[in-house]
Amino acid sequence: MTLHRRTFVKTAALAGAAALAPQVLVRTARGADKNRVVFISEESNPKAIAVYDKINADFEKQTGIKVAMEYPGFANIAKRVATLIAAGTPPEIVWYGAGQAMNLALENQLADVGDVLKSVGGVADNLRMVYKGADRSIPTSQQFTYGWYRKDLLQQKGLEPPKTWDDYLKVAKALSNPPQMYGCIVPSAETGASTILLETMFMKNDVHWFEWDANKKQYEVALDKGDQRKRAIETLDYLNELHKQSPEASTFNWAELMSTFVSEKAAMSYYVGARLLEQVMANNSRIADATAPVELPRKLTESYYLSIQGFHILDKANVEGAKKYVTFFLKHPDVISWYHAVPLHIIPASRDMLRSAKYQDHPVIQKRMDVLKFLDSVWTKGVPLYYWDGKELNPYIGLFHNENLAGWMLAMRNIKGMKSDAIVDEAAGQVRKKMRRTG
């Protein structure tokens, strides 16, 4: 067989085109397919997946639209969404934290979902995420950051559940007997667990990262100014005192935070929601009844760090199909089983639903009505980070939150021993530098 050079070049070019064609075809096909939606969900609990399967099958039967699911998990979902967008094949729906979804809104990737919200009965004001005058999130559930403590250990020492900073420190000291038992846990690492602890405690002490400049109509860094700086330093110093009653915790992530409490190494801990209780029930039922919720200690405010999860619809592909699906999902009778997948952890966005007999008709919830009552009592006190510094959506929170800057601050104070004032000044400087880069 004779192969001319020209033929070879043609063959090589064809082979190259063939290798690239599938990618182009996938992008084109996905954009054009009105009978398919890609849905990425953060919740990968097997019970939740079973509910998705059931509702998706019903949806396909009724509308002919197939729902393709992906479950990358809590730690990877933002990366998965980012890489799909970068590849030009964005999903239609993402169910995850509204704080993470805000990054998409700022890049004009999220559709206006006001019509969906209206059709499912609206949403409480503190759960909305509004950008460029339109709702960008359909909240389904929420989680407060709060403490958990061992009732039995406090009772043995004749102590009351702590409410104020002084109380909390006193109880932590009284219960601490290292290395067998620590009074509390103050993770001090560049992790989500440390970051949310400091961000929550900043809220309790009314510390703001930014302030709204009405003239410039934008947020400016406030952390190192006047009273904010004073209170930020005070908060770091307080957590440094608490850290003395904690394991060193310089590598602690959420799993270690839970395992230390579950294995009875700490008398007080905290979590975003009730997953810690779920883990105690599953792995150490002996202390399950003695594990009770408590507010993280307050100083100037009773505000709670609020995480909101919901559906987010991307603006680039099958928007109508996605809206139909979300509406169908939220009105489906089995949606209650979805809320029951991790009972008391995924709590509904609607207070009416929380108080409904249908929601409360679950053995774990029935057994732990004290947790439900606690959640009901703090219902209006939650503030999402992006509205903590003002009424306008704060587009800059990712500059400190995504990088776990608050965790870095705690680690610098508790592990490296740096002075709080220098830490606050450096943190503010880092945020300003990033603001200049992002423009």
For another protein, the binding residues (CB under 8 A) are: 1-5, 7-8, 11-12, 15-16, 19-20, 78-79, 81-83, 85-86, 88, 103-104, 106-109, 179, 189-191, 247-251, 253, 260, 263, 265, 398, 402-404, 408, 411-412, 415-416, 434, 437
| Phi, psi values for residue 55, rounded to 5° | -65, -40
Contact 74, 143 (CB under 8 A): no
Pick between residue 65 and residue 409 the one whose CB is nearest to another protein: 409
- Kindly state the smallest distance separating residue 244's Cβ from another protein, in Å: 14
- Kindly state the smallest distance separating residue 249's Cβ from another protein, in Å: 8
Listed residue (367, 282, 370, 256) closest to 47, CA to CA:
282
Structure tokens at 214: 């009405």
Q: How far, CA to CA in Å, does 113 sit from each of 40, 130, 319, 341, 365? A: 17, 10, 10, 26, 32
- Kindly state the smallest distance separating residue 90's Cβ from another protein, in Å: 8
Pick between residue 190 and residue 241 the one whose CB is nearest to another protein: 190
Q: How far, CA to CA in Å, does 242 sit from each of 72, 192, 370, 414? A: 35, 19, 27, 10
Pick between residue 87 and residue 134 the one whose CB is nearest to another protein: 87
- Kindly state the smallest distance separating residue 95's Cβ from another protein, in Å: 17
- Kindly state the smallest distance separating residue 85's Cβ from another protein, in Å: 6
Contact 394, 212 (CB under 8 A): no
Separation of alpha carbons 172 and 348, rounded Å: 32
Pick between residue 132 and residue 373 the one whose CB is nearest to another protein: 132
- Kindly state the smallest distance separating residue 15's Cβ from another protein, in Å: 4
Contact 163, 293 (CB under 8 A): no
Pick between residue 19 and residue 214 the one whose CB is nearest to another protein: 19
Pick between residue 164 and residue 251 the one whose CB is nearest to another protein: 251
- Kindly state the smallest distance separating residue 324's Cβ from another protein, in Å: 25
Listed residue (206, 186, 317) closest to 256, CA to CA:
186
Pick between residue 85 and residue 335 the one whose CB is nearest to another protein: 85
- Kindly state the smallest distance separating residue 16's Cβ from another protein, in Å: 5
Separation of alpha carbons 129 and 133, rounded Å: 10
Contacts of 273 (CB under 8 A, 6+ apart): 143, 144, 307, 344, 345, 346, 347
Scored b (16 or more CB within 10 A) or e, 285-303 reads eebbeebbbbbbbbbeeeb
Pick between residue 109 and residue 291 the one whose CB is nearest to another protein: 109
Give me the helices (H) in 176-225, please. 192-204
Pick between residue 31 and residue 122 the one whose CB is nearest to another protein: 31
Separation of alpha carbons 414 and 431, rounded Å: 21
Tally of CA atoms within 13 A in the half-sphere of 184 that contains its CB = 29
Contact 100, 75 (CB under 8 A): no
* CA–CA–CA angle 331, 68, 275 (5° rounding): 65
- Kindly state the smallest distance separating residue 215's Cβ from another protein, in Å: 28
Pick between residue 63 and residue 103 the one whose CB is nearest to another protein: 103
- Kindly state the smallest distance separating residue 158's Cβ from another protein, in Å: 28
